[in-house]
């Protein structure tokens, strides 16, 4: 499979990192990328495409996610998160919106009997030129239980991180149809950017990964949940630092404008710049909106 070998996943992820971490200092960018590209406890070939699996068949998916277990309230709650993630002015949010608008996807809740611990999964098949992309987003039902609901925003943002990865791959079947690779840490960091720009955070997701790892229960394709948690916190701190700096910049700029306006006797009518807010979420009480017809 020549096409697979031509695609270099590390270079691909680095290019995306350069785009979405561009506001971070060079040192921080380098540090985060090195953690993404070399997962603890694994050799350098963690991103070997030969390790990847293929897009599952419809039959496989149906077995995993029986339609009769789909709860419209939970589906609507998930859709609301995706709407928030793709509804702000950040570059990553705009890019995510473009992806979601061009994707037919199925959201599937995996029943507790099948999946007793919090888990998620994303499969993404990029469409050819004029076709829509296809995706399945799986979320375990237990994530809607009170003690797990804090994990949900981070987990969903992580899955959107996978969408960003897959959407940006070359349009070659050998590459675009391979999924669930070792790029989990990458998806985590994209998740941080996606969540934080929408006013959420991934702290509970990180804590979950770390706790599971310490119990010897690493999530699939994860070699160290602790390594992933550390990377999430580092990215999160970098986001806060950068955001604080840009806020200070905006403020001092505004002060200058105000001074000039005062001198000229003009009152300020500036719009408040977008500022992410920390939101406490309870998926059960989220505002529901008219859900679009589900595909598949």
Residues in contact with Zn ion by CB under 5 A are 184, 187
Q: Which is nearer to Zn ion, 150 or 184 (CB)?
A: 184
- What gap in Å lies between CA 221 and CA 48, rounded to an integer? 13
Closer by beta carbon to Zn ion, 39 or else 184 = 184
Q: What DSSP character marks residue 128?
A: P
CB 273 to Zn ion: min, Å? 32
Within its chain, how far is the Cα of 26 from the centroid?
22
Smallest separation (angstroms) from Zn ion to the CB of 174: 21
Q: How far is the CB of 46 from Zn ion (least distance, A)?
A: 13
C-alpha separations of 11 from 15, 133, 165, 248, 293 in Å:
6, 23, 12, 34, 37
Percentages of the chain per state (helix, strand, coil), in multiples of 5: 55, 10, 35
Q: In the complex, what is the shortest distance from the CB of residue 162 to Zn ion, in angstroms, rounded to a whole number?
A: 6
Give the shortest CB-232-to-Zn ion separation in angstroms: 13
HSE-up (13 A, CA, CB side) for residue 181: 28
Which residue in the block uniquely carries the two structure tokens 């029986």? 66
For 19, 72, 152, 282, the CA distances from 149, given in Å and listed in that order, are 31, 17, 5, 7
- Our CB check for Zn ion shows the closer of 29 and 218 to be 218
Closest CA to 104 of 124, 121, 87: 124
CA atoms within 13 A on the CB side of 46: 22
220 three-class SS:
coil
- Kindly tell me which of 21 and 124 has the beta carbon lying closer to Zn ion: 124
For Zn ion, the closer of residues 95 and 184 by Cβ is: 184
Q: Which is nearer to Zn ion, 155 or 270 (CB)?
A: 155
**Minimum separation from the CB atom of position 137 to Zn ion (A):** 11
What is the C-alpha to C-alpha distance for residues 169 and 80, in angstroms, rounded to an integer?
Answer: 27
């Amino acid at each position: 499979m020549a096409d697979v070998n031509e695609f270099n996943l590390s270079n691909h992820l680095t290019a995306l990192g350069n785009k979405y971490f561009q506001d971070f200092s060079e040192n921080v960018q380098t540090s985060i990328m090195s953690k993404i590209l070399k997962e603890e406890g694994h050799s350098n070939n963690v991103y070997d495409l030969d390790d990847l699996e293929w897009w599952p068949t419809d039959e496989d998916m149906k077995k995993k996610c029986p339609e009769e277990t789909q709860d419209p309230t939970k589906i609507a709650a998930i859709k609301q998160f995706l709407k928030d993630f793709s509804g702000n002015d950040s570059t990553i949010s705009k890019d995510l919106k473009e992806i979601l608008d061009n994707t037919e996807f199925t959201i599937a809740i995996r029943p507790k009997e099948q999946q007793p611990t919090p888990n998620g999964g994303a499969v993404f098949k990029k469409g050819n030129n004029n076709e829509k992309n296809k995706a399945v987003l799986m979320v375990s039902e237990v994530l809607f239980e009170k003690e797990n609901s804090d994990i949900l925003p981070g987990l969903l943002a992580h899955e959107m991180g996978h969408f960003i990865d897959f959407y940006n791959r070359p349009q070659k079947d050998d590459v675009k149809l391979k999924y669930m690779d070792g790029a989990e840490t990458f998806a985590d960091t994209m998740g941080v950017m996606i969540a934080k720009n929408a006013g959420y955070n991934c702290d509970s997701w990180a804590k979950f990964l770390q706790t599971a790892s310490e119990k010897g229960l690493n999530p699939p394709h994860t070699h160290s949940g602790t390594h992933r948690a550390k990377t999430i916190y580092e990215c999160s701190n970098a986001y806060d630092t950068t955001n604080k700096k840009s806020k200070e910049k905006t403020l001092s700029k505004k002060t200058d404008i105000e001074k000039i306006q005062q001198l000229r006797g003009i009152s300020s009518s500036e719009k408040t710049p977008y500022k992410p807010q920390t939101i406490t979420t309870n998926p059960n009480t989220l505002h529901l909106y008219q859900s679009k017809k589900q595909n598949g």
